[in-house]
Structure 1
Amino acid sequence: MDNTGLVAMASIFASGLTIGLGSIGPALGEGRALAQALSAIAQQPDEATTITRTLFVGMAMVESTAIYCFVVSMILIFANPFWNQLAQSSGG
């Protein structure tokens, strides 16, 4: 297998690993945050609007981690910075 195939294979593997592991943490965090928010609303129904607003802001922050992992994954697949280095070193 030539170097181009190795770079492609490593990029696809790293991309899958990035999006796979990078989505587990935010999913668990969002589930825990939602469970705690529902528990807080059940205990204090008068504060439901404040809790909900804070929950949505927190969920957006947690979800940004998964979005960053998705962006890194897409860069590895479609705009890999190693392709130019590989092309220059092979003389192409």
Structure 2
Amino acid sequence: MSAALETVNLASATAFTGSASAIGYGLAAIGPGVGVGIIFGNGTQALARQPEAAGLIRTNQIMGFAFCEALALIGIVMGFVFK
């Protein structure tokens, strides 16, 4: 009887660990999401003010977007690393 109880407790503990990592990634995705919004919002303003610098602004936007998305990917990998 106690072996069955231990199995139930172990299963609920692993279910909580999976849920905790999903919640952690959800919270970690907030930062890159805000960063991408700021990058493209300010890039749009910069293009409206100086259309002749479109190439440089677009290049900087793409680099900033790549760095923000790298943070999001690192966040999802950490959920698998720290199980």
State the TM-score, normalized to the length of structure 1.
Answer: 0.72
Greater length-normalized contact order (CA 8 Å, ≥ 6 residues apart): 1
Structure 2 distance, partners of 1:68, 1:5, is 27
Give 1:10's aligned residue.
16
Unaligned runs of 5+ in 2: none
Q: Which stretch of structure 1 is more off in the superposition, 45-54 or 17-26?
A: 17-26
User: What are the equivalent positions in structure 2 for 1:24-43 lying under 5 Å apart?
Assistant: 24-43=30-49
The aligned amino acid for 1:51 is I
Unaligned runs of 5+ in 1: 81-92
Q: Which stretch of structure 1 is more off in the superposition, 67-76 or 21-30?
A: 67-76
Structure 1 distance, partners of 2:80, 2:48, is 41
SS in 1 for 2:59: helix
- Aligned pair count? 77
State the TM-score, normalized to the length of structure 2.
Answer: 0.79
State the superposition RMSD in angstroms: 1.7
Which of 23, 36, 51 matches 2:29? Answer: 23
Give 1:51's aligned residue.
57
